[in-house]
A = this chain, B = another copy of it.
């Protein structure tokens, strides 16, 4: 099928197409996983993806290799790949690390932020406020707010100036983003995060590294607790159902 492909076949792939199919497939799959379009636990086969994106299996396999390295899919030899499912324990592990890294990155950012950086953070905050203030907002707008809220942390990590730290934090956030979305979306506590974000940005703009770091760590702990509480409740419900039957 890839043989007689229309002129502008690239539209099937990610919006901003890289110059190689491998990268495009990687971006497309990553986006679908992170946003939950392909839910955790789904089996993904090379043929399906290749057919869906109108490419051969080769670039798909290479994309899978990268995704596996990112921890977004889990594969065993000759048994295919599955979108990684986070259990409660993996979540706890991830957020424990995130607390360290995000706290440090935020402290660094407070020391390193230029005026331009500060303006960028304030703009993101304002965008969150705007999306939150919409009277009868749709799910789509809730998602957008969450996305900007998570991106805020990515940008802070970028401002920290430590590229490796930035990369590692993005990796963790990618892995968790879907869960944060689906779990936190329905939680009123999310507005607490909004306030905490504001405080963090404030501390960064004031150049108060110690305070920014402390706030960031507390914020991560708070997010963790919210998600864990929901996951725990879900898990309890599952075992309740199992016993009842």
Contacts and interface: CB of A to CB of B under 8 A. Distances in A.
A228 to B, nearest CB: 15
B164 A93 contact: yes
Interface residues of A, number: 25
A90 interface: yes
Interface in A134-158: none
Contacts of A85: none
Given A20-B77, A77-B20, A162 B96 contact: yes
A43 interface: no
A10 interface: no
Contacts of A77: 18-20, 23
Nearest to A100: B100
Contacts of A20: 77
A97 B66 contact: no
A90 B166 CA distance: 12
A78 to B, nearest CB: 8
A125 B130 CA distance: 58
A65 interface: yes
A165 B97 contact: yes
Contacts of A168: 97, 168
Contacts of A62: 61-62, 65
Contacts of A94: 164
A68 B69 CA distance: 10
A241 B138 CA distance: 65
Residue picked from A65, A162, A163, most chain B C-beta under 10 Å: A65
29 contacts: A18-B77, A19-B77, A20-B77, A23-B77, A61-B62, A62-B62, A62-B65, A65-B65, A65-B69, A66-B66, A66-B68, A69-B69, A90-B163, A90-B164, A93-B162, A93-B163, A93-B164, A93-B165, A94-B164, A96-B104, A96-B162, A97-B101, A97-B104, A97-B162, A97-B164, A97-B168, A100-B100, A100-B101, A168-B168
Interface of A: 18-20, 23, 61-62, 65-66, 68-70, 77, 90, 93-94, 96-97, 100-101, 104, 162-165, 168
